[in-house]
A = this chain, B = another copy of it.
Amino acid sequence: MRLSRFFLPVLKETPSDAEIISHQLMLRAGMIRQQSAGIYTWLPLGWKVLQKIEQIVREEQNRAGAVEMLMPTLQSADLWRESGRYDDYGQEMLRITDRKKRDMLYGPTNEEMITDIFRSYCRSYKDVPKLLYHIQWKFRDEIRPRFGVMRGREFLMKDTYSFDTDEAAARKSYNRMFIAYLNTFTRLGLKAVPMRADTGPIGGDLSHEFIVLAETGESEVFCHADLVEMGAPGASVDFDGDLQPLVDQRTALYAATEEMHDPAAFAAVPKHRQLSARGIEVGHIFNFGTKYSEPMKANLTHPDGQDRPVHMGSYGVGVSRLFGAIIEAHHDEKGCIWPDSVAPFDLGIINMRAGDGACDSACDGAYASLVAAGLDPLYDDTDNRAGAKFATADLIGLPYQLVVGPRGLKEGKVEVKIRRSGETHELSLEDAVARLAAKDFANG
């Protein structure tokens, strides 16, 4: 993409109403624009990142055996009356009346709707296990939307729902999502710790939150420090195998959110491994058994001929919130530093003197070669001055910058800068392009 054709409205000033760094950077780097309180447009740069986050979440759901679908944003109030949550949910639920005076709502979550879908097609124990998910915009009418996309009103969530014959089988589905979440967050460049959590309005008796540690986190968390460094199981996990040992390994050590904190148990953690910090919730999984299937009569006929309510769980990832969490974890005073996996472009090409024949032809050639190699570069071909181009490149945080200037070119040299380390390499244009195409620069 040539910057002259792109739409990248960067701001010079930090907007005064943005309290946390991720919100500030998303506004400054032209990634989002607020339309109403807690409602954002995803400008082209931000939208590219959000799509990459979404795709990683999707791939890991598919790997774990979940099947994607899409439920609508608007729901009928009647479904929520069946479960009893219509009155419980309070003012966070955006209630809508359509032209025929029907009570509707903008879905804040989908337990009722998916239970309704399941019961209308599935009646037999042979129809399960099933893991169904969608990635859809939700709405929660927060009284005080804040922190940009971290606590927005219209937000993108991935929510999976599991259907099983009994508690033991439901636990296996729960474990699939537990492990899928670890893999997901690791691919996104995040260290997320699973913590025993309160089940809140979703209900049930088994629940974990996945928490990214960050100073700007909304809640206090307590855990064994080993959990922060424990790697994810990775793509080689056999999701059809026994996942319990992997889960046990991560639940044996102490980790709890504020609501579930047990100071006595925490005191038993070796002193130097006691970690109390602030955290950002990026995922939340629930096993809630028959809480919805019972009132909504989603039953399975078992081999013994008896009908029993299906056992369910739900598993959420805050996709738009992850955007903020990744910036909180990956930035410096100059701007964002995207992990390669979610960078909006693979690299930037900076033409220090657009209009100079040698610079233009070197940049045009490099751009064409890198595109041909399957990369997606952002080529700054504008007539801004070089200093402004460097500042923008650092602000938007592409992992690599290929810098082409008239002086260097005379000596046959260009510069590759690694955004994260600030390290620079002077080399020939050909070598630079070849090594960038081969992803041959260390980006630790």
Contacts and interface: CB of A to CB of B under 8 A. Distances in A.
Interface of A: 1, 5-7, 9, 30, 33, 35-37, 39-44, 46-48, 50, 65, 67-76, 91, 94, 96, 98-100, 102, 104, 106, 113, 116-117, 120-122, 130, 132, 134, 137, 139, 141, 143, 154
A69 B43 contact: yes
B70 A139 contact: no
Nearest to A42: B70
Given A104-B36, A120-B33, A70 B99 contact: no
Contacts of A35: 71-72, 75-76, 113, 116
Contacts of A139: 74
Contacts of A143: 99
Contact of A68 (B47, B76, B121): B47
18 contacts: A5-B65, A7-B130, A35-B72, A35-B113, A36-B76, A36-B104, A39-B72, A41-B69, A41-B117, A42-B71, A43-B69, A43-B117, A44-B67, A44-B132, A47-B69, A47-B70, A74-B139, A96-B96
A123 to B, nearest CB: 11
Contacts of A68: 44, 47-48
Given A41-B70, A70-B47, A143-B99, A121 B36 contact: no
A65 B139 CA distance: 32
A318 B173 CA distance: 37
Nearest to A90: B99
